[in-house]
Amino acid sequence: MENPVAGEVLDPEKLSFDKFREEVLKDYQSACESREASLLGRKEVLTGKAKFGIFGDGKEVPQVAMAKFFRPGDFYAGYYRDQTFAFATGAATIEEFFSQLYADPDPKHDPHSSGRQMNAHFATPFVDQDGKVLDLVNSKNLTAGLAPTAAQMPKALGLAYASKAFREVEVLKPFTELSNQGNEVCFCTIGDASTSEGHFWETLNAAGVLQVPLAIFVWDDGYGISVPRKLQTTKGSISEALKGFQKKEGTNGIDIFRVKAWDYAGMCEAFEAGIRSVRLTHTPVVFHVEEVTQPQGHSTSGSHERYKPSERLEWEREWDGIKKMKEWIIDNDLATEEDLNEIETAAKDFVRDSRNLAWEKYQGPIRVQVAHSVELIRDLAQHSPDIAEQLQQLAQTLGANREPGRKEVLQTLHEALELANAGGATGVVVGPDRGNAGGSAAARDVAAYYQELKKENAALYNTHLYHEGARNILQVPEVKAVYADDAPTLNGYEILNRYFDQLFTHNPLVLAFGEDLGKIGDVNQGFAGLQAKHGAERIFDTGIRELTIMGQGIGMAFRGLRPIAEIQYIDYLLYGLQPLSDDLATLQYRTAGRQTAPLIVRTRGHRLEGIWHSGSPMGLILHSLRGLHVCVPRNMVQAAGMYNTLLQGADPAIMIECLNGYRLKEKLPANLAEFTVPLGVPEIIREGEDITLVSYGATLRIVQEAAQVVEASGISCEVIDVQTLLPFDIHHLIFESLKKTSRILIVDEDVPGGAAGFIFNKVMEEQGGYKWLDTAPRTITAQAHRPAYSSDGDYFSKPNAEQIIDAIREMMAE
């Protein structure tokens, strides 16, 4: 193996003195520039040019030291304090930092979030517009920041785990475009207070067990906003509290370093040794960086004088890292005070220029919109004498706005149109869609521009929830399942088992893991025997840790793998929901499509037995996981087809298999590894004329039972399986069915108003289904309480066939 740690040297004996000095001064310059960005950034907020700011002042020196050891191919998962790291690694410029602070939506100006995230949430590109993974081996890779404390931890585990997989899984070794033999380290940062979160502990425990190249830097500034360390951490010290995790001879575990944030040389030494070791041995490491300061307090939302005692504030001034670094440089004769003062002055100028550029770039296009709007409104005024004065006033106010936003432009145009609508003497009328209908030519021009800007803004603010390029899920071609004449009939779980066997044979990038998934092949035997066949590195057991199983999957998916991560029962999804909702579901949106992690979450649910083994929290899933696809196959053949579809796309998804479907018989398709079930396309599984019954998953079997019963009375039911809840019926097939039947009953085993409410909204409002109704539409759902145990409990808690039959009869009689 190539020496993975070559080049990580800051030893003056190995570098020429000049080179060493140059590097130190460059670091000093980076630290000073970053400090200036913090100081100026805060001013921008206080003067109203930006809405909110959170800055990295006080954390500069640790971060320039950390950045020295971050190599191309490495990954970063951190939080909002790491601007210095982003600047020092070249992942962000100071101008971009200000663009993001202003929320500039132009991706050329804020390439990290296109104005969608608060400042200091950095992200480098991971995929191209068509969802193809970029050359991550030769770039420094920052995964998109997120605000919930410790939310970076779960994905960090997965980013590091991928290196282990690339190093150890035989079939992954040829993927040299994705990994350099697993030599990549995931750098993860966290604040001292955020280590109180369960995320931190679960991640650390998993990393200690798994032995992955994860380097965690704890920025210990003694506070989480106003709450001091002693209320956060056992023994008031995270490295003390972590001692039992320390790796020893012959054990697994992690290495722990303690360093001081003002000690530039000490940190360089510790980081060098720690990173060298983690890269080589995959033993995780924690750097407890103590005595960090926070000169400007937590954020622009308040002042730290409210909670920090004056002695602490005094201490922070005295032990400011940049001040100490300056003293160290002078003491070691690396530069004179004058040299350093010059660097500081240059840093001020540079940051001010960057700020000015960012502001101009942000305001430029808006000013063009303002100028054009003013012109159009003034023109309208000339043609509308009765409202001329008010229109002139509108134009005047907009034109005089010194810091206009896109919102103000649109609001002003709308107001002008409202005035025109009110008529005045000209009788101007512009349609409610603000389109080109009616009104004078001048009014139509205003309306047309309003429309144009609305479209433009929608493209800026309302795109990229899902992948929009060549690997868009709706572009995956449909390949129908084909059956041999003598196709065997198997149990559902056996269908899946054969499917996964073929999948793991053909697709080396797929890995599957979860509780009881490896050795016994999952609790319903979908993977039975497959670990022995495909290897314990590809199909494996994990600890009971849903949160970090999800994070592990997310991180691996970031790195070009196609993980299938299990939640054993859907009822336990809540434990893993936070990273799915906050991180995964928002990822493409918050990076405007530059990052994606196409994780497939596999779980099983719907009716079985008892409060925690029969859940169907589909409303919860639908409303917390926009940004994932939600697949609810009625049987395992449909599930296999959906897996095939998902694996061709670039989006994440959750697959909910029917718990009570594993032992139902199904015919085995001949093209198991190839056929696809298109997402968003419902299937009519029983044709009928009188009433449309809409459902999915396990409940469909009860719906079919009911349809069968009422047929004897001459009632013809059309039964529709929606197949996927997100996307939902993209061709409006349910609407087409309603045209024929004029009656609709939605059956769902979630709580009242859950998924049934979602379907109702889609069909009635989005599809306009109400137009064809002869009777009031209905839903039948589970009860509001959790389902009681046993068959009777299930019967009286979940929808049953008799309820459906009665509802159909009532609706037919209405």
Q: Which residues are catalytic?
A: 613
Query: Applying CB under 6 A, which of residues 192, 202, 494, 750 lies at the interface with ligand TPP?
Result: 192
Name the burial class of residue 106, with classes exposed (0-12), middle (13-18) and buried (19+) by CB atoms within 10 angstroms of its CB: middle
Closest listed residue to residue 605, CA positions, set 663, 656, 564:
656
Give whichever of 55 and 758 is closer to Mg ion, judged by the CB atom.
55
> In the complex, what is the shortest distance from the CB of residue 189 to Mg ion, in angstroms, rounded to a whole number?
11
Tell which positions 147-176 bind ligand TPP, by CB under 6 A.
147-149
Q: Which of the listed partners (Mg ion, ligand TPP, none) does 148 bind, with a CB threshold of 5 to 8 Å by partner kind?
A: ligand TPP
Number of Cβ atoms within 10 Å of the Cβ of 784: 10
What residues are paired with 667 via a beta bridge?
489
> In the complex, what is the shortest distance from the CB of residue 603 to Mg ion, in angstroms, rounded to a whole number?
36
Give whichever of 309 and 427 is closer to Mg ion, judged by the CB atom.
309
Q: Which of the listed partners (Mg ion, ligand TPP, none) does 544 bind, with a CB threshold of 5 to 8 Å by partner kind?
A: none
Q: Which of the listed partners (ligand TPP, Mg ion, none) does 98 bind, with a CB threshold of 5 to 8 Å by partner kind?
A: none
Give whichever of 223 and 735 is closer to ligand TPP, judged by the CB atom.
223
Q: Which of the listed partners (Mg ion, ligand TPP, none) does 225 bind, with a CB threshold of 5 to 8 Å by partner kind?
A: ligand TPP
Q: Which of the listed partners (Mg ion, ligand TPP, none) does 194 bind, with a CB threshold of 5 to 8 Å by partner kind?
A: ligand TPP
* 3-state secondary structure (DSSP) of residue 285: strand
Q: Which of the listed partners (ligand TPP, Mg ion, none) does 53 bind, with a CB threshold of 5 to 8 Å by partner kind?
A: none
Beta strands in 103-177 (DSSP E): 141-142
> In the complex, what is the shortest distance from the CB of residue 151 to ligand TPP, in angstroms, rounded to a whole number?
7
Residue 190 identity: I
Give whichever of 192 and 749 is closer to ligand TPP, judged by the CB atom.
192
Yes or no: say if 182 and 223 are a contact pair by the CB < 8 Å rule. no
Using CB under 5 A as the criterion, which residues of the chain lie in contact with Mg ion when the complex forms?
191-193, 221, 223
Q: Which of the listed partners (Mg ion, ligand TPP, none) does 559 bind, with a CB threshold of 5 to 8 Å by partner kind?
A: none
Give whichever of 223 and 589 is closer to ligand TPP, judged by the CB atom.
223
Q: What six digits make up the tokens of 445? A: 């021009």
> In the complex, what is the shortest distance from the CB of residue 223 to Mg ion, in angstroms, rounded to a whole number?
5
Number of Cβ atoms within 10 Å of the Cβ of 18: 8
Q: Which of the listed partners (Mg ion, ligand TPP, none) does 56 bind, with a CB threshold of 5 to 8 Å by partner kind?
A: none
Residue 298 touches ligand TPP, criterion: CB under 6 A:
yes
Q: Which letter does DSSP use for residue 579 in this model? A: I
Closest listed residue to residue 272, CA positions, set 68, 23, 550, 20:
68
Closest listed residue to residue 729, CA positions, set 630, 589, 584, 654:
630
Edge-to-edge strand ranges of the sheet holding 255-260: 141-142, 75-77, 186-191, 214-219, 285-290, 255-260
Yes or no: say if 682 and 663 are a contact pair by the CB < 8 Å rule. no
Q: DSSP labels for 27-93?
A: HHHHHHHHHHHHHHHHHHHHTTSSS-----TT-HHHHHHHHTT--TT-EEE--TT-HHHHHHTTS--
**Torsion sign, CA atoms 12, 14, 18, 22:** negative
Closest listed residue to residue 435, CA positions, set 459, 409, 417:
417
Tell which positions 211-270 bind ligand TPP, by CB under 6 A.
219, 221, 223-225
> In the complex, what is the shortest distance from the CB of residue 59 to ligand TPP, in angstroms, rounded to a whole number?
7
* 3-state secondary structure (DSSP) of residue 746: strand
Beta-strand pair 489-491/665-667 = antiparallel
For residue 788, CA distances in Å to 301, 568, 575, 699 come to 47, 20, 22, 17
State the number of binding residues for ligand TPP (CB under 6 A). 14
Give whichever of 199 and 602 is closer to ligand TPP, judged by the CB atom.
199
Residue nearest to Mg ion (CB): 191
Query: Applying CB under 6 A, which of residues 35, 42, 71, 81 lies at the interface with ligand TPP?
Result: 81
Residue 121 touches ligand TPP, criterion: CB under 6 A:
no
Residue 203 touches ligand TPP, criterion: CB under 6 A:
no
Residue 538 touches ligand TPP, criterion: CB under 6 A:
no
Residue 194 touches ligand TPP, criterion: CB under 6 A:
yes
Yes or no: say if 288 and 220 are a contact pair by the CB < 8 Å rule. yes
Give whichever of 320 and 566 is closer to ligand TPP, judged by the CB atom.
320
> In the complex, what is the shortest distance from the CB of residue 260 to Mg ion, in angstroms, rounded to a whole number?
16
Give whichever of 191 and 208 is closer to ligand TPP, judged by the CB atom.
191
Binding residues for ligand TPP (CB under 6 A): 81, 147-149, 191-194, 219, 221, 223-225, 298
